Structure 1
Amino acid sequence: MRRARLRISVITALTITLLITLVGGVAHTVMTHAQDDQVRRELRYGAARGGLSSPPVCTWLYAPGATPLANAPAGFPVRADMDRARRTGQAVERTVRRNDTVYLVRTQVRTDGELVQAVFDMRFQLADRRYLWSALGVAEIVGLIAAAVTGAVLGNRAVAPLAEALARQRRFVADASHELRTPITQVYTRAQVLSRQAADEDLPARHRDGLARLVGSVSRLGEVLDDLLLSASLAADPARRSEHRHVELVTLARSVVAEESDRTHEGGLTVVVNGPSYPLCVDGIESALRRAVGELLVNAIGHTPAGGRIEVDLARTGGTVQLTVADTGSGFEPAEAELLFERFHRGDGGGRYGLGLALLREVIAHHGGTVAATGRPGCGARFTVRLPECVSAPVPDPAQPVTAGRS
């Protein structure tokens, strides 16, 4: 919503600015042409008929043997033009910059054979043009202020209905997810009980498999609800500063890996955590960051075949904490790197899809960080998260060794 309001304000400001600039450019062009035409008419009249002792306003006349007026500008007449006009009999016009101003000079032979050079001082015309640009500058500033106010008002009015609709949608998602959590938890618990009872009783294998799939489906449904609740919570209150704490990522990563140890052992996977012995702290919501790291690990587990390897690396790089999860799984097409973070995206091979990675990016962006993915088909994938490091985090001792954990 803020981006939409800002975009409307910027577009309004640019529109008003362009209009003022266009009007100013047209006014300047018209005034310049009108002044030039008037100056040339006066110059030609003065050169053809003006009296040497009483020339037109802003004009000085020079002729061989005539004494210039006392207030005549220095540096005139232009001898080269007089020689050329005398030799060719053709009038010569040029613009001369002298004495911090501009002069329009015309040299010609009059009908009575007298050689005359007329010099017109354009300082007043140039001053009028400068005044015009100054007025346009003031109008531009006033226009920008008016554009900012107008854009803010238009932005608020234009975006208000959409903002209200989105707020209602978020409230609905949060309320629905919250209300569904309890019955789904009850269904999940009951399904687990039935699955355990089925294992102890002499039930057909297809019934036991059906109960196992039911438990898995209900578990995934609960995870989706948790994702929706977290996403709605972040969208409804992006700041949530009261919940921010210093979170130590090395400990958090090891804890997440330990929580998934049963799944990694069942899949025959090796998971290694490489991190420094000193703490790497970030400012954020621990539960959200735990969910983000867990999503990366679960994603790697789900796409790494038996006997594969997953590495979780943590390091400090230029004021940020970098967490990388790399696997030896199926990988993905490089062109799909950004599409992976879209909600419910499924790649060509059917891998890496759902709400999790989209929510992961929301969580990381909420904490002021970035997440990127790289990979190739059949060569595994690498997800890199960068988060701003806490200012109060201790400075590491370079002599301390790097430790690694295995699950």
Structure 2
Amino acid sequence: MTTRRSFDPERRLLIRTRRRITAQVAAVFSLAIALLGTLVYCVVVGEQDATARRDLAVAAMSAPMDHPPPCVWLFELRANTVRSSPGAPESLPVRETLDRVAADGRTRVDVAEVGGHTYLVRTQRRGDVPLQAVRDMYYPVTERRRLLRTLCAAEVAALLAALLIGQVLARRAIAPLGEALDRQRRFTADVSHELRSPLTRLHVRAQLAARRLRRDPDPLVVVGDVDRLVTGIGQLGEVIEDLLLSTQLRQRRRPFGPADLAALAEESADAEAARAGQRGVTIDLRRSPGDHVVCGAPSALRRVISALLDNALRHTSAGGHIWVTVCSGPETVRLSVRDDGVGLDPRDGERLLARHVGAPHTGGLGIGLALVSEVMDAHGGTIDVDGRPGAGATFTISLPRAAPDPAPRLSRIFLPQQALSETNRTPEATASGPGDASL
């Protein structure tokens, strides 16, 4: 059975782009190597031909018939009889060319194929005697063929190297594109997840307001619900703005300010009260004495608490309880959200904080908890997960306490000259009594 791999359109786009870049790089490298090889071959062949023609011209002019240069044979035509140098092949000379030179006296240089061999033939007159000098081109032709094979092998090797280099360059070139597509997917997932809870709360509040208006048309009855709707819409705007600026949380720290974690927890619990009431779940908020101020972005921290409450509500059945506890320590402020719902395996704690990973029994994507982890990293905080299957779960975030405002410094006090003179009085003058003081 054959299994076919399926890729999403973005993955296929990256694969096509990588292949296109690889092919282009390989084509450019191969073309460059081919041009270089052609240039080398033409230069070598031209140099060999020029050398052979020059040596052959020298031999035709002055070489003795009995001792010509290596691979060169000389032939003379005297009284219609051809005299050849020792060792000349029987298929030579090229008699037709020799007869033409004898008739018109013009010098001719040709390449002749005789008996399956290639010869460079120069026919001219030496004095009044027609002479033909023939050079065997076996070795130059052999060298050319060897050079051609070497260049072809180099071209193949260069093509393979170009493919490898093209793969590396293509991966580096499309890495930013892959990251951009990944950021786009993450942003889409973040938006869909982050807008779900606020829109659900607004929908529930609008339904409650509509029911109360049907029961009692007096607008004063739904003033509180309308106020909550306005607050929820404002918080929804903050969520959208925070999502648009979410890259700043991942790339650099934002300029944080003081944020009261207990107040944010109270706002979030109040925002989820209507939805919790519909589900039959009770939310209990507890806070320790003292301040619970941390340094952070209130909108981002509100997202964290809302995500933890949303996670608890989704895993707590009717009649269940959710406890939100805020307490302060010497250096940190901790907020925990505990429920008595389906629970979880403590060994899955870190895995649940990863993006696109949810609890095995929920089938969710786990984006909200991943966002909680990202916000905690941006704020220098931590998140701990604890629980047992069937016994609920506890999510605890810890954030550094905000540094207290420094004590106000005393300003320099400028005293009038009279008061200054009194402060500079000697102890004896002071002891002399009030009657001696000058008012």
Range class of TM-score, shorter chain: 0.3 to 0.5
Higher relative contact order (CA 8 A, sep 6+): 1
How high is the TM-score relative to the length of structure 1? 0.43
